[in-house]
Amino acid sequence: MKVTETFLKGCFIIEPIVFGDHRGNFFEVFNQKIFEEKIGLKIDFVQDNQSISQRGVLRGLHLQKGKYAQAKLVRVIKGSVLDIAVDVRKDSPTFGKHFSIVLTEENNQQLFVPRGFLHGFATLEDHTIFSYKCDNYYHKESEDGVLYNDIDLSIDWGLKDFEIQLSDKDKLLPSFQDFQD
């Protein structure tokens, strides 16, 4: 696996080595030893989640607070997404900055999003299957987030406003300023 740290410390792009022949292909999705050697992190994933969405569905920006914070390893099984990680670690030099990457079934790239980051994604194709591993269990009372189109974050989601489909819950997320307060 090729592991590349983004400009957000602790946030990594992971590219598997794909072995293919006339039958199809094979690659490792996760390898604990490689995580420990290349990222310097012993992580215990405890929950796998998957969503299926149509083009224009935007999920985010989410995180869990406190002792229920989650690190995530995200990838696309089918289709494509624009994936976003926002550093909200108050002591970080990149606080409030975001990183974006297009994850597709063709490029097989993954993004490791550490604890202390908001995360969200916008689906770029119909029937997109998005999968992610979490190192902590879901805890409803610890949910938090920021509105996807917050002016201070200024994220380009790669979709026109009329294309974006949000959950009722995501429509009510606070601004980045209110989130910080």
Under 8 Å between Cβ of 40 and 9: no
Active-site entry in 98, 119, 132, 148:
132
User: Known catalytic residue: 62?
Assistant: yes
- Out of 62, 98, 119, 148, which one is annotated catalytic? 62
- Does 132 qualify as catalytic in the annotation? yes
Token code pair at residue 158? 């790669």
Sheet holding 117-123, edge to edge: 98-104, 80-87, 117-123, 58-64, 143-145
Would you please indicate which residues are annotated as catalytic (active-site) residues? Answer: 62, 132
